Structure 1
Amino acid sequence: MRDKHFVHQTGLLAAGTHDHLNMEDVPGLLVAVLLVLAGRLGGTEPSGGSCFGKQCYVVHRHTGDFTSAQNQCKEQNGHLMTVRSHESHDRLVTLLGNASGQFWIGLHRPTGCPDATFALKGYEWVTQDGESIFSNWAETFDRSCSSPRCITVSAEDVFRWTQKRCDALVRGFLCEYSFNYACTRLEEEEVAGESVIYTNPLGFGEEGLLSLPPGSTATRMPSELKYICFSQKWQQAPWSCEVLQGGCQHKCIVGPDHQPSCYCPPGLSIHPVNKITCETDPDGPCTRLGCEHACLEDPHGAYSCMCTHGFKLAPDGRSCVDFNDCSDERLCPGENFRCVNTAGGFRCVCADGFKLTGGVCADQDECASAPCEHMCHNTPGSYRCSCYEGYIADAHSADKCKLHCGKEECKAECDPNDQYQCFCPDGYIAEERVGGTVCIDMDECTFAYCEHHCKNTYGSFKCSCSKGFTLVNEVFCKRKSEDEDEEWEGSGEALTSPSTPTVAPNEGPTRQPSAVTVGGLVGIIVCCVFAVVAVVFLVQHLLNKRGKAEREATLKASEGGGEAHSLRGMEVDA
C-alpha cells in the first residue's frame, strides 16, 4: 500500500510547480523519482557507475544468479548491460577495472542450441534482440546443446564472454539504463572559487557523470544554490514539494500563490540568496510568531503561519492539527479498500479479511489457518465456525466446541482406541451398560445448589426465589425492599438460568451450599455455649451439695461414737 500512496502523492505533482515547467515532461521526472524510490526500497547499493549521453551503466557487487540480477535491474527500470560495440566494451572494462570475480551481462540463450554461424552464436540480449557489431567470446566456447545458457565477464578472463549456468552464483552484475533526455554539467566560475556537487537517482558517485539523468541534482558551493535536471534543463529550487521536498533543507510547502516555498523550524529563517537553506535569525519576525510548521511572507510584506500538506492551522494561528483526509469519500475508491488517516496524510489498505493481490483487495481464506476446532466456513471478509453432530459452540469461545446432549440420556463419546475412556457433556454422568457407556442427565437439584427453589434441566438447572425475594449470583435469594415488593407484588416466582456448576462425570458435587444463614448460625453457636455453661454450673452445684452432705454425716458419726465410749467408762467405774 505504500507504493499506492506514493503514486497518489506524485500524481499531484502538477500542483505547486513553476509556470514555465512543461507538464508534458512531468512523467520523465516521475520515472526518475521512482528510480530513487526503488533504490531505497529493495535494490542493492551500486559500487560504481558512469553516464554517457542518454545512457547510464552501474556496477553491483552483490552475489546472485542470472535471474535475480536481471530482476534487480528491472526494479529500477533498467536491464542487464548489453555490450554491442567497442565503445560499450571499453565502458565495461573501465567500470570493472581490476575487480575480482565474475559479473553477469545481459546475454543469454533462452532456447535451442549454439549456432556458430552467427556473431552471437545463437545467444541474444535480454532486450530480446540479436543486434550487435561486436563480440568477444572466450576460446573455451562450448557448442553443445547442453552448454550453459548465460554469460559472465571477469578481469581474470580478460573480459571475454564466458558461458555460465544461469543458476550459478557469481560476484555481481552490471545494469544499463536509458533515458529520453539528459542534462549537461553546470558551468563553474573558477574566479569565485565555485564548485558543483552532483547526485543522481541511480545512487553512485559523480566521477563518471559526463551527463546527468533526469532527477539528478546539482548544488553550487559555497552559495548552496540547488538545481534539478528536469526537461533537459536545470530548474532552480524550490521546485515541486512532491519531489525530494522541493530541494529544501528543512521542509517544503505550497503557498497561497500555488508556488512551492521552503521554510525552517522556529529560530531559523530561509537564506535570502538560495531560498532553501536555514540560518539563525533570533530576532526575525517568524521567530516572534512561533509557528509550529512554517512562517511565510505575503506579497505585502506581512508574515503569517502556515501548515504543511495534510495539516490545517489551529484557531490560535500558530499550531497545526492533522487534517482528516479520509473524510473525503473519493479516496481509496476500490472495492474492499478503506482509508486510514495518518499524520499529515492517509493510506489505502484492504478491509479486514481481505489481502492486496495484484492491485485489488481479494478475500482472504481464513480457514486455511485452521482457526476452528471443528468445521470452518469461509465468508467474504470473515469466516464462521460450526460443530460436528453431538456438539455445540462454546458460549465462551465461538471457535471451540463442547459435547451436547439436549435430552435425558445420550450415548457417550468414547475413545475409538479405548472403549472404557468415555466422556459426557457437562451436567451428565456416565453409566456403563451392556451395549456401551451412556450419559444420563444429573439432577443437580438433589444437591441443594439453590437457596429456595430448583428446577432441573437437561445438563443444567434453574434456581428461583419465593415471592418477596430476588435471585442473587444465580443461586442465592435476597429479600426485596418495600419498593421492590410493590413493584413485584403478585408477579410470582422468577426463574433464571444460572451457569451449571462444574461437576466431573461419575463424581458428586464438590461443595453443597448451606441452607443456614450466617445470623442463624451465630445464634445456634451462642445457644450452645450458654447450654454448656449452664450444664457445667449445674454439675458443679450438685457436686458441691453432695460433698457437704458427706462431711456432715461423717461429723455426726464421729460425735455419736465419743458419747458411747464415755457411758461405758462410767459404768465400769461404778
Structure 2
Amino acid sequence: MATLRPLLLLLLLARGCGGEDAEVLCADSACYTLHRTESSWKSAQERCWKNGGNLAAVGSASEAARLRELLATARWTEPAWLGLALPKGQCVQPQEPLRGFSWVAGGEPGNFSDWTSEPAVTCLSARCVALRPPGPHGPGGWLDRTCRSPLPAFLCKFSFQGMCGLLPLAGRGTVAYQTPFGVRSAHLAAAPLGTLAEVECDSGRHSPLAVCKVPLAGGGFAWHPPGPLCPVTCGHRNGGCQQRCLDGPGQSPRCACHPGYVLAADMASCLPEDSCHPNPCQGSCRTLPGGFECGCEPGYALAADGRGCSDVDECESGPCQHQCRNIPGGFQCHCRPGYRPAGPAGRRCEDVDECAHPHSCPQLCINIPGSFRCACRPGFQRQPGGDSCLDVDECLRDPCPGACRNFLGGYECLCPPGFLWDGDGHGCSPREAIPNAIPESSSSIPQISSSIPQSSGITPQSSGITPQSSGIIPQSSSSIPQSSSSIPQLQSVPQTSGIPRTTRIPWTTSIPRTLGMPTAGLGAGSDEHSADGPRLLLYYIVGSLVAILLLLAFALALVACRKRAAKKEKPPAKTAADNYCWVPEQPEGRGERR
C-alpha cells in the first residue's frame, strides 16, 4: 500500500484536483457522458476529443437504447449533439441509411439509422445531427440542422479495454470515482480501466485509494488494492466478508471462503469452486457441490462416459410425412416433387396446384396429386412430343353424306338435296315426306286441252240417188293442245267411248319445293350457313328445272297416249252409196217433144 500511494498521487496531480460533473453510463467496453453545456457541433466535438473520446456514435439498436437510458436518468428533454455530420460540398443521399452522413469517429457506417424526420436535401452547406429524446412531440430520434447553430447539450463516447466492478467496502463509507475522461461521479455501475476510486470511511480512519488496473486470469480487470476497504475488526459485521474473516496480529482483516468455494474479484464475496473451468464436458457444464454435471444441447444425447455428446437420429421416429434427413443436432423434412411443406416445422406436405399458375398448359390443365396433366379441348389433339394442341380435321373421316367443312375445334356438314341438318350440325338425315295438303299457287297455270276427232253424218240431198258425187266429203277435226305457260296444268279430258277417264292431276306450286333444300324458317339466313348461299341457290335452281321438265314430259306422254287410243277405234262401215248424193227427181213430159 505504501508503494501504491505515490502512484495514486501522481494520477491525481495529472487529472487535477477535481473533475467535471456529468451524467455517466458505462457498459461493456464504452462509457457515454451527457454534458449540459451550450455549444456548436464543432466545439462539442473538440471537448470530447480533448478528454480522449468523440461525439457519440450510434451503430446499433442496443447502443441507441443506452443513450436514451442516459437521457432518461438525467431527466433531459432537449436535443443533444451526436457525432454524425455531412461536410460541406457533399450531397445528401436519400436512398442510403445514413443519408450520406458519416460518423466523426470513423469506421463502417453500418445500416442502423433512427431518423425522426428526413434531412434536408442539400449539397451546399454542412449539416450535423442531434438526438431528440422521446417526449410529447413523439418517440424521438435523429434530426439534422446547421452545424453552427448552438444546442444546450452534447453526448460523448469513450472506449476502453475493460471495466471493473463496484469497489467493495468492509465498513460504511462513500466512494468517488474519477474517470480517465475527466468526469467525477459517485454513481457508476462499472468503472473503466484507469479509474481512480477515493474512499471516505465513516469510521474516520484514513481515506484509502484504489485504481482499476489489474487484469484477471480470465481477461477481466479488478481494483488494486482489492478491498474490502474501510476495514474493521472481524467482530464488526464479519469484517465485511461473506463467509470467513481472518484477523491476525499486525494484519488488517481479510476475507476467506469455505472449502468448495473461491473468493470473488471483490475479495469479499465467495463463489462455488469452478469445477467446470476448464470445461471437462463436450457440451455444457454445471458446477455441483464437490463435483460437476455435463449436459448436451437439444438434438444430442449424453454419451456413456457422462462427458461426451452424440447426435440423435430424429428420423428414426418418422417425424416427416414424406422424406426426413438427419443433420447434426436436428433433422430436416423434405417433400416430393409436386408438394410443398405445410404444418408446424414443415413436417406435413400438401399438393401444389400447378394449374393455378397461368400458362401451365396451352388449353386445359388437370391437377393431379404431385403433378398435373395437360389436355386439349374437343376437336383438338396433342402434338406428338409436345404440349401444344393441333386442330383435328374431322372431314378426313367422311362424317357427312355430302360436303364437309372443317374449322378450328369442329366441323359442319353441307347437306345435299333431300336431307336436313341434325341438331348438332354434324350430320344429315333424310327429310320427312311432303304432306298431302299443298297450297295452290296464285300464278296462272295454262291448260292443255284436246278433243277426239269425230266423223260427220250423212246429208240427204234428194230423195233419189244420182251417179254424180257432189257432196260426199269426209270430215274430221281435232284441236291442238296449246301451252301458255312454262308450267302446264292438266285439266280433265272429255270422256270418249272406249277411253278410260283420267283422274284430275293435283296442283303444283309455281316454284317446286325440292326435298332437302333450305326454306324460310330453317335457318337459311343464319350466320352458320351464310357461306354456303351460292351453292344452295344452285341446288335450288337445278331442282326447280328438273321438276318442271318432269311435269312437261308427263303431259306430253299423256297426250300421245290419247291420240293412239283414238286411232285404234274403228269407224262405221261405209257403202257405195256413201259416195253419192241423192238428186231430186225431174217430172217427165208426157208426149211432149221439143
* TM-score, normalised relative to structure 2: 0.32
Q: Normalized per residue, which structure has more helix? A: 1
* TM-score, normalised relative to structure 1: 0.33
Asked which structure has the greater CA Rg, the reply is 2
